[in-house]
Structure 1
Amino acid sequence: MGRGQVACYDPATGEKLSSVAVPAPHTSSCAFGGPELKTLFITSARQDLTPEQLAKYPLSGNLFATEPGVAGVPTHSFRAG
């Protein structure tokens, strides 16, 4: 079973800096969006969870949003030439 969180690590040291708990055991992806890229959107999966696990984690398969106190960075478009 997953850990039900999204974590931020220091790329130089590998030290875990912070984490955001999610009320679902399998986080599947995350991305920043919203005004000023301050909202972290987190998806979760429910595939392969047993009925018992789904009863324990009824929010599995949902989309969550939080403002973790940091902002994302804009994407840069790429066009192959």
Structure 2
Amino acid sequence: MIAALFTGLAASPWARAALRYGAIAIAVLLFLLSLRRAGERAGRMAERLETTEKTNDVQRRMLDAAARRPRDSDDLADRLRDGRF
């Protein structure tokens, strides 16, 4: 029954054109949705990269500060006397 109805619809040139344009519209819609998801994914990855860069910058500054710290109390006293702290 349904196959006969579909065969009858597909036999009409107008129905074939409608089915063709419908299939094209669905394909374009799916493509646009795919692009949107890819854009969202790229945005999340860019945000994650920015956060990682900020974290690495903070850690690098902490390591630089630790490398410049006074080695012992005598070094600290010398720095305080010289005004280099």
Task: Tell me the TM-score normalized by structure 2.
Answer: 0.17
The structure whose residues are more often helix, as a share, is: 2
Q: Of the two, which has the highest radius of gyration?
A: 2
Task: Tell me the TM-score normalized by structure 1.
Answer: 0.18
